[in-house]
C-alpha cells in the first residue's frame, strides 16, 4: 500500500518512527481526544442557550444583531491565515512521526510569523472597511453607527491574535494534546457568550461588550502560546525562520483557502437564493430544519479534528495503519449517524409538529427528510476530507470545491424555482452526496484500494429506503416498528457486512 503525494521526498521509516506513529495514533488516545472535542463544542453551546436571551433583553435586538455579526466577521476573516495553520499542523505531525524534531522550530516560527503578518493585514483591511460595512452593508440604525464602527475597529485589532491562535493550537493538535486544547477551548467558548454579561452592570454599549471579547481572545492566545512553547523545549531557544518552507506552506495553504472560502459560500448560498426566488418566510421554513439537523455533525466534526493530525502522522510513516484508522472511523460514523438519520426521517413531521407547530410540519417535513440524508453524506465526507488533507493534498479538496460550485449554483437555482424549498434541499443533498463520492474516490486513488465505499453506498441507500417508507401514511406504533427494524439492520450491517474483520472502534487500532 502506498500513498501518492503525501510527501515531496520519500522517508525511510525506522522502528522508532513506527513506534512514534503508533503512540500518536493509538486507539485510546484518539477516542479520548474525540470526547474532549465533543465537550469543547457542546458545553459552550449550552452556555449560549442560557446567555443569549439575557443578552438580547439587556442590550436590545439591534445591538445583539451587531454582536452576532461581530462573531461571524471574526470567524470568516480568520481565512486570512491562508490555510497556514492547517499546513503547519500537517508538517509538524509528519516531523513528529519521523522523529525530525530539529526541523520543528523553523516550521512553527515561519508559519506563525506569516500568520501574524496576514492577521495584521486582515485587521487593517477590516478597520479600513468599517465605515463602508457600517453604513453600506449592515444598514445600521443611526443611533448605533458610532458604536458599531468602534466595535469593528476593536475586532480589527484582535484579528492578528485570532489568526496566530490557530498556529499555536495547531502545534498542540499535531502532538494530539486535545486535552490541553479543550481545557482552553471550554472557557474560551464559554467566554464568547458569558463575557459580555460581565460588563452589563456598567455598560450596554457595543464597544464595551466587544472590547471584553477582544480582551478574552488575547488572553487565550497567550495561554495557547504558553502551552505550545512549554511542551516543546526547542521552540523558546530557537526562533528560526526558513524561507525554503514558504513554497510548501503556501502550496498547501492556498488550496486550503480556496476550500475555506467556497465551503461557507456553498453552505449559505441556498438561503440567499430562497429569499431572492421565493420569500423570507420560505427562508424560515428552510433554514430552521437545516440548522437543527446539521447539529448531528457534531460527532464527525469532533472526530475529524483528532483524525487530521493522526492521518498526517500515519501517512508519512505507516500508510497501512492510516487506512485501518480510516476504515474504523467510517464504521463509527455509520453506527452513530445512520440511526439518528433514520429516526429524523421517520419522525420528521411528528417532531416538527411538536417543536414548531403544524405550519412548520406541513412546509418543512420533506425538507428536513432530504436534509437528513444530506447530513449523513456530509458527515461521512468529513473523513475522506481529513484523510486527503492529511496526505498533504489540499489541492484535491480545493479543486473539487471549485468544480462543484457552478454546478451547485445551477442546481439550486433550477430546483428552487420549480420545486420550492424542497427543491433547495434536494440540490444541497445531491451536492454533498456527489462531494462524498468524489472524496472517497480520492482516498481510493491515494491508497490504491476501495476503502469503505461499500459502507457509504449501503448507508446512504438505507436512508433513501427509509425516506421512501416514510411516504406511507403510518400510525405511531407502525413507525416505531419500522425504526426498530431499521436500527437492527444498521447494527447487523456494521457488525457483519461492512467490516467483518475489525472490532470497529479506535481501541482496535493499537
- pLDDT of res. 112: 80
Q: What is the mean pLDDT of residues 432-454?
A: 80
Query: How far apart (Å, rounded) are the C-alpha atoms in residues 151 and 63?
Result: 11
Q: Which residues have CB under 8 Å from 94's CB, separation 6+? A: 7, 312, 313, 315, 316, 392
- pLDDT of res. 375: 92
CA 448 to chain centre: 27
- pLDDT of res. 455: 67
Q: Among 91, 70, 232, which residue's Cα sits nearest to residue 162?
A: 70
Query: How far apart (Å, rounded) are the C-alpha atoms in residues 172 and 186?
Result: 15
Number of H helices, E strands in the chain: 18, 0
CA 248 to chain centre: 24
Mean pLDDT (the chain) is: 77
Quick check: 370 pLDDT over 90? yes
Percent of the residues in the chain that have a pLDDT greater than 90, as a whole number: 7
- pLDDT of res. 95: 72
Q: Which three cell numbers stand for residue 56?
A: 438580547
Quick check: 371 pLDDT over 90? yes
Give tens-digit pLDDT for 245-300.
Answer: 666 666 666 667 677 677 767 776 777 788 778 876 777 788 778 878 888 888 88
454: buried, middle or exposed (CB in 10 Å: 19+, 13-18, 0-12)?
A: middle
280-284, 346-350, 474-478: least confidently modelled range: 280-284
pTM given for the model: 0.73
Query: How far apart (Å, rounded) are the C-alpha atoms in residues 252 and 266?
Result: 21
Quick check: 501 pLDDT over 60? no
Helices (H), ranges, 294-357: 298-317, 319-346, 348-356
Query: How many CA atoms lie within 13 Å of 230's alpha carbon, on the beta-carbon side?
Result: 9
Query: How far apart (Å, rounded) are the C-alpha atoms in residues 234 and 299?
Result: 35
Q: Which residues have CB under 8 Å from 314's CB, separation 6+? A: 21, 25, 97, 321, 322, 325
Backbone phi, then psi, for 35, in 5-degree steps?
A: -60, -40
Quick check: 502 pLDDT over 70? no
Give tens-digit pLDDT for 403-417.
Answer: 888 898 999 999 998
Q: Which residue has the higher pLDDT, 281 or 370?
A: 370
Note whether 382 and 297 are within 8 A (CB).
yes
The secondary element (H helix, E strand) that includes residue 402 is helix 394-447
Give tens-digit pLDDT for 155-199.
Answer: 888 888 888 888 888 888 877 788 888 888 888 878 877 777 788
Q: Which residue has the higher pLDDT, 348 or 457?
A: 348
Q: Among 338, 360, 489, 363, which residue's Cα sits nearest to residue 419?
A: 363
CA triple 436-437-442, angle to 5 deg: 95
67-71, 302-306, 333-337, 363-367: least confidently modelled range: 67-71
Sign of CA dihedral 14, 16, 22, 24: negative
Quick check: 506 pLDDT over 50? no
Per-domain boundaries in the chain: 28-241, 261-501
Q: Which residue has the higher pLDDT, 337 or 240?
A: 337
Residue with cell 493550537: 169
Amino acid at each position: 500500500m502506498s500513498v501518492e503525494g503525501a510527501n515531496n521526498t520519500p522517508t525511510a521509516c525506522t522502528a522508532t518512527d513506527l513506534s512514534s506513529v503508533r503512540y500518536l495514533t493509538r486507539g485510546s488516545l484518539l477516542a479520548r481526544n474525540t470526547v474532549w472535542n465533543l465537550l469543547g463544542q457542546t458545553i459552550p453551546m449550552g452556555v449560549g442557550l442560557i446567555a443569549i436571551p439575557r443578552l438580547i433583553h439587556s442590550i436590545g435586538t439591534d445591538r445583539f444583531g451587531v454582536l452576532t455579526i461581530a462573531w461571524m466577521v471574526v470567524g470568516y476573516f480568520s481565512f486570512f491565515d491562508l490555510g497556514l495553520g492547517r499546513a503547519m499542523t500537517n508538517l509538524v505531525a509528519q516531523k513528529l512521526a519521523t522523529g525530525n524534531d530539529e526541523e520543528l522550530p523553523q516550521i512553527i516560527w515561519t508559519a506563525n510569523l506569516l500568520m501574524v503578518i496576514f492577521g495584521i493585514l486582515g485587521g487593517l483591511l477590516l478597520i479600513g472597511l468599517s465605515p463602508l460595512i457600517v453604513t453600506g452593508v449592515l444598514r445600521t440604525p443611526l443611533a448605533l453607527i458610532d458604536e458599531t464602527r468602534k466595535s469593528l475597529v476593536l475586532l480589527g485589532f484582535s484579528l492578528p491574535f485570532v489568526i496566530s491562535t490557530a498556529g499555536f493550537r495547531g502545534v498542540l493538535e499535531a502532538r494530539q494534546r486535545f486535552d490541553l486544547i479543550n481545557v482552553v477551548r471550554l472557557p474560551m467558548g464559554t467566554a464568547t457568550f458569558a463575557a459580555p454579561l460581565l460588563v452589563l452592570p456598567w455598560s450596554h454599549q457595543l464597544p464595551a461588550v466587544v472590547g471584553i471579547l477582544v480582551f478574552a481572545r488575547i488572553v487565550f492566545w497567550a495561554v495557547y502560546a504558553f502551552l505550545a512553547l512549554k511542551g516543546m523545549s526547542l521552540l523558546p531557544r530557537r526562533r528560526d525562520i526558513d524561507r525554503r518552507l514558504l513554497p510548501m506552506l503556501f502550496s498547501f495553504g492556498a488550496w486550503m483557502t480556496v476550500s475555506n472560502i467556497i465551503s461557507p459560500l456553498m453552505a449559505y448560498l441556498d438561503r440567499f437564493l430562497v429569499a431572492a426566488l421565493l420569500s423570507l418566510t420560505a427562508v424560515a421554513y428552510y433554514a430552521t430544519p437545516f440548522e437543527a439537523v446539521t447539529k448531528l455533525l457534531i460527532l464527525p466534526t469532533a472526530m475529524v479534528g483528532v483524525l487530521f493530525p493522526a492521518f498526517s502522522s500515519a501517512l508519512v510513516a505507516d500508510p497501512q495503519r492510516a487506512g485501518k484508522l480510516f476504515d474504523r472511523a467510517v464504521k463509527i460514523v455509520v453506527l452513530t449517524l445512520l440511526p439518528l438519520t433514520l429516526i429524523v426521517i421517520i419522525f420528521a413531521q411528528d417532531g416538527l409538529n411538536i417543536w414548531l407547530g403544524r405550519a412548520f410540519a406541513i412546509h418543512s417535513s420533506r425538507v428536513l427528510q432530504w436534509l437528513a440524508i444530506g447530513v449523513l453524506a456530509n458527515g461521512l465526507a468529513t473523513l475522506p476530507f481529513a484523510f486527503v488533507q492529511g496526505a498533504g493534498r489540499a489541492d484535491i479538496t480545493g479543486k473539487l470545491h471549485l468544480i462543484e460550485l457552478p454546478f451547485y449554483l445551477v442546481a439550486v437555482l433550477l430546483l428552487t424555482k420549480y420545486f420550492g424549498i424542497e427543491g433547495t434541499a434536494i440540490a444541497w443533498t445531491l451536492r454533498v452526496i456527489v462531494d462524498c463520492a468524489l472524496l472517497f474516490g480520492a482516498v481510493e486513488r491515494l491508497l490504491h484500494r476501495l476503502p469503505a465505499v461499500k459502507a457509504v453506498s449501503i448507508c446512504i441507500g438505507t436512508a433513501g429506503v427509509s425516506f421512501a417508507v416514510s411516504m406511507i401514511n403510518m400510525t405511531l406504533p407502525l413507525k416505531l416498528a419500522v425504526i426498530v427494524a431499521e436500527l437492527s439492520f444498521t447494527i447487523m450491517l456494521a457488525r457483519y457486512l461492512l467490516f467483518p474483520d475489525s472490532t470497529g472502534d479506535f481501541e482496535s487500532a493499537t
